[in-house]
Amino acid sequence: MTLNDEDLKRIFRSYVGKRDSGTRQGCPSFSELSRFFDPETRRRDKLNIIDHVTDCSACAEEFEFLRGLHNYQSQIAQNASNLRSDQRTCAIPPQIERGKRSLWRYAPIAAGALLLMISLSMLTKWDRPGETRTASSSVALLRPGQNQTVLITMTFEWEPVEWADAYILEVFDEALLPVWKSQEVTAILFKPPEELRSRLRPDSHYFWMVTALRNGNKLAESELRRFTMGRKAP
């Protein structure tokens, strides 16, 4: 099952409508943000979107919302594909097969209802006052700085968050796909372990963020910050 533009616009506008509008001059439109997830979109256009959302907190939240929708849509499509594959490997009596085909007519409706329920639950969760990203509930990242070129001996550092008892560090590649995620740590200084160092390639761009926890629950999170891996000095 796939979502058409009108479905996405309806869900997206419902989400955006619940947030403070503010000034959006110079921000990408809904169509521009959603085209990031189109495989046919040029790499340069995708990089422009990434550059913008790393500096614009409002667009970053909307981008994360669209990314969540895209991931759920891909997961549902994959599950449907797996089910169809399983059907081809089983010998099914004709009378059961006819009944099964009848039931499959309702699969798009059921999948659409499921996706809508998931989307609404995401909206409800993200609009709770205690979980909304604000200046007082964000983790301030210190180093590496935005667009800084670093060596493998770098140290991740962030400011402590009041009431937090642990933190999780995450690193993403240029396409915002997960590269590595730490266990819960209590320090605010973190040197990359060998597992992470082996995944970071010279002359490549990455993003990092930190989530603050209290009793295992999210207390605050940082923005996405971009850095570049440099080559080791001779």
- Taking only the tens place, the pLDDT of each residue in 100-129 is 555 455 555 555 555 655 555 554 444 333
Asked if 175 and 117 sit in the same domain, the reply is no
Task: State CA 35 to chain mean position distance.
Answer: 15
Tell me what pLDDT residue 3 has: 56
- pLDDT tens digits, residue range 34-62? 778 777 788 777 888 887 878 787 788 77
Asked if 170 and 111 sit in the same domain, the reply is no
Q: Out of 105, 130, 155, pick the residue that ends a domain.
A: 130
Asked if 61 and 173 sit in the same domain, the reply is no
Q: Out of 130, 158, 184, pick the residue that ends a domain.
A: 130
Asked if 114 and 143 sit in the same domain, the reply is no
Q: Which domain holds residue 78?
A: 5-130
Q: Say if CB 180 and CB 199 are below 8 A apart.
A: yes
Asked if 143 and 114 sit in the same domain, the reply is no
Q: Out of 95, 130, 165, pick the residue that ends a domain.
A: 130
What pTM value is reported for the model? 0.49
Q: Say if CB 146 and CB 104 are below 8 A apart.
A: no
Tell me what pLDDT residue 124 has: 42
Asked if 148 and 211 sit in the same domain, the reply is yes
User: Is 234 inside any structural domain?
Assistant: no
Domain count, the chain: 2
Asked if 11 and 43 sit in the same domain, the reply is yes
Asked if 79 and 190 sit in the same domain, the reply is no
User: Is 47 inside any structural domain?
Assistant: yes
Tell me what pLDDT residue 52 has: 82
| Token pair listed for 19 | 């947030």
The DSSP result for the chain, as a single string, is ----HHHHHHHHHHHHHTS-----TTPPPHHHHHGGG-TTS-HHHHHHHHHHHTT-HHHHHHHHHHHHHHHHHHHHHHHHHHHHHHHHTS---HHHHHHHHHHHTTHHHHHHHHHHHHHHHHHHHHTSGGGS--GGGBPPEEESPTTEEE-TT--EEE---TT--EEEEEEE-TTS-EEEE---B--SEEPPPHHHHTTPPTT-EEEEEEEEEETTEEEEE---EEEEEPPPP-
Asked if 56 and 172 sit in the same domain, the reply is no
User: Is 160 inside any structural domain?
Assistant: yes
Tell me what pLDDT residue 208 has: 96
Tell me what pLDDT residue 54 has: 80
pLDDT along the chain (234 residues), means of 10: 59 58 68 78 80 79 78 69 60 54 54 57 42 56 94 94 95 93 95 93 95 94 94 60
| Token pair listed for 103 | 């039931």
